[in-house]
Amino acid sequence: MGVMRMTGGALAVAMAMAAAGCVGGGSGGSATPSSTVRSSVVTAPADLQLLCASEAATRFGAPANEVLPVSSSQTGSGVYSVSLTMGSAGSATCVVDDNGTVQSVEKA
């Protein structure tokens, strides 16, 4: 079997064609973003997560720059649970509603 050699132009065309095949979607599956597991969980809006972080810092005396939201999920209609890390102060869970009312903040 002989080795096939390509000139620079032919190689560039072959690489472009191969790359174009990769853009088309891979395996040919018809999964849409709405059918993936990742998009099935409703998370709290960013402003509500930050509100929870601020409230936890105030209530527990933790440095505000160390209190960060790490996850959140909707627990009811317009109600969210936000998990927070507070650096050396540990972790906490905050429950907040769509109106920005913090219902509870508890150390985990």
pLDDT computed for residue 17 by the predictor: 46
Q: Residue 89 belongs to what domain range?
A: 41-107
For 76-108, how does the pLDDT look when each residue is reduced to its tens digit (9 = 90+)? 999 999 999 999 999 999 999 999 999 999 999
For 18-53, how does the pLDDT look when each residue is reduced to its tens digit (9 = 90+)? 445 444 455 555 555 555 555 678 999 999 999 999
Domain annotation covers residue 10? no
| Number of domains within the chain | 1
Domain annotation covers residue 13? no
Q: Which distant-in-sequence residues (6+ apart) come within 8 Å of 68 by Cβ? A: 53, 84, 85
Q: Which residue did the predictor score with more confidence, 40 or 2?
A: 40
Domain annotation covers residue 65? yes
Q: Which distant-in-sequence residues (6+ apart) come within 8 Å of 85 by Cβ? A: 66, 67, 68, 70, 91
pLDDT computed for residue 40 by the predictor: 76
Domain annotation covers residue 84? yes
Domain annotation covers residue 17? no
pLDDT computed for residue 99 by the predictor: 98
Domain annotation covers residue 57? yes
